[in-house]
Amino acid sequence: MLRDLARWLAAVLLAALVACGSGDSRTALVVYSPHGKDLLQYYEQAFEKAHPTVDVQWVDMGSQDVLDRLRSERANPQADVWFGAPAETFARAANEGLLAAYRPSWASKLPDEAHDPKNLWYGTYLTPEVIAYNAQVVTAADAPKDWDDVLDPKWKGKIIIRDPVASGSMRAIFAAIISRELKRTGSTAAGFDWLRRLDANTKEYVISPTMLYQKLGQREGVLSLYDMPDIETLRQTTKYPIASRIPASGTPLLVDGIALVRGSRHPDLAKEFYEFVTTPEALRAAANKFVRMPARVDIPADSLPAWIRDARAEIRPMPLDPRLIADSLDSWMKYWDAHVRNCCRAR
């Protein structure tokens, strides 16, 4: 019910945006994105300054919610650009015919695994998943050092989790755990057992990143699993005492992408926005202002902030099978939602 409410609110927001722009002579460019208000407002203002006849209208929602919205709007697309989601989510959209092919001017600056072979999406950022904690309650010495450490009974009732069904980051973490256990045992059963133990330590599943940050910062929970850019942005821009740790055994290093929506109303303008937010200058701004790690390999390391250089040295990417995850993740999440969610959760 909460997920349906969130989707309804997003639809109302989009309708309001369009209505507000009805008396505006500018061309409305609609962007669906999970990247958050601060980054989206920054690019909105910068793009509109360079293109005074354009009104960028963005809708901020989870990456899975974007995919669901595009599916429901297939016959009458409302968005022009999809800016942000893990590669596996884009891969599913590509397989379903929801995306339009486009080869950006910088296509040769990405490794093959960071874009679609048919040019249906390209990587923008790299997103490591981390363990986050309230540093006023949990010391660095006591904080979990690896994924399995969060299953310790001492964390029972102290973990806050972003709703995994709607969150690309949480889906990626769950997929990595199930894949790891599948490789180790030959079955997904051990992976779902791991998630049941996580559920036993979980106090609450929240419907939005904002709720996650607030509850973690206000000690309603002291531990979480989420993506490093959002946690680091929170640490740098608020008074919340949040810290994070890159898991020692390895972490999913997601390719976060961008794509054009098939059948959109303004395809040429959408391509301009696509190029605008992926220039070296725009990616350096994202790194410095919004803690995003660029996927392009042609950006000199010494032009990026120290946290990116440090993270690159520390990260051990978990080996993941993109085809397996693209084929299986939806069914895994449906099983989790029906058979694991709240099965053992702390009350």
- pLDDT, average across residues 71-98: 95
**HSE of 337, CA atoms in CB hemisphere, 13 A:** 14
Position 11 in a domain? yes
The pLDDT tens digits of the residues spanning 103-162 come to: 999 999 999 989 999 999 999 999 999 999 999 999 999 999 999 999 999 999 999 999
> What is the model's pLDDT at position 322?
83
pLDDT tens figures, 287-312: 999 989 999 999 999 999 998 899 88
Query: In percent, how much of the chain has pLDDT > 90?
Result: 75
142, 237: one domain: yes
pLDDT for residue 21 is more than 50: no
| Distance (Å, whole) CA 30 – CA 57 | 5
pLDDT score of 15 more than 60: no
Domain residues for the domain of 29 are 2-126+255-309
Residue 234 has a pLDDT of 82
Let me know whether 67 and 160 are in one domain: no
Question: Of 17, 84, 26, 12, nearest to 57 (Cα)?
Answer: 17
At 14, the pLDDT band (50, 70, 90 cuts) reads: low
Look up tokens 């020692």; give the residue.
Answer: 248
Pair 202, 225: CB distance under 8 Å: no
Tokens representing 174 are 């769950």
Say whether both 228 and 185 belong to one domain.
yes
pLDDT at res. 239: 81
For residues 277 and 210, membership in a common domain is answered with no
Confidence of residue 22 (pLDDT cuts 50, 70, 90): very low
The CATH code of the domain that includes 102 is 3.40.190.10
Q: pTM for this one?
A: 0.80
Q: What is the 3-state secondary structure (H, E, C) of 54-94?
A: EEEEEEECCHHHHHHHHHHCCCCCCCCEEEEEEHHHHHHHH
CA geometry: angle 204, 207, 208, nearest 5 deg: 115
pLDDT value at residue 19: 45
Cβ distance 247 to 133 under 8 Å?
Answer: no
**pLDDT per residue over 232-288, tens digit each?**
888 887 888 999 999 999 999 999 999 999 999 999 999 999 999 999 999 999 999
- Tokens (6 digits) for 329: 């993740």
Q: What is the pLDDT of residue 11?
A: 52
| Least-confidence region, from 13-17, 74-78, 97-101 | 13-17
Does 29 map to a domain?
Answer: yes
pLDDT at 46: 97
Are residues 94 and 200 part of one domain?
A: no
Write the pLDDT tens digit of every residue in 159-215.
999 999 888 889 999 999 999 999 999 999 999 999 999 999 999 999 988 899 999
Both 263 and 119 in one domain: the answer is: yes
- 259 and 241 assigned to the same domain: no
Q: Is the residue at 347 inside a domain?
A: no
Pair (323, 189) in one structural domain = yes
Exposed e or buried b for every residue in 2-36, given b needs 16+ CB within 10 A? ebeebbeebbeebeeeeeeeeeeeeebbbbbbbbb
Both 179 and 217 in one domain: the answer is yes
Considering the domain architecture, whether residues 43 and 166 belong to the same structural domain is answered as no
Task: Tell me how many domains the chain contains.
Answer: 2
Q: pLDDT tens digits for 251-260?
A: 999 999 999 9
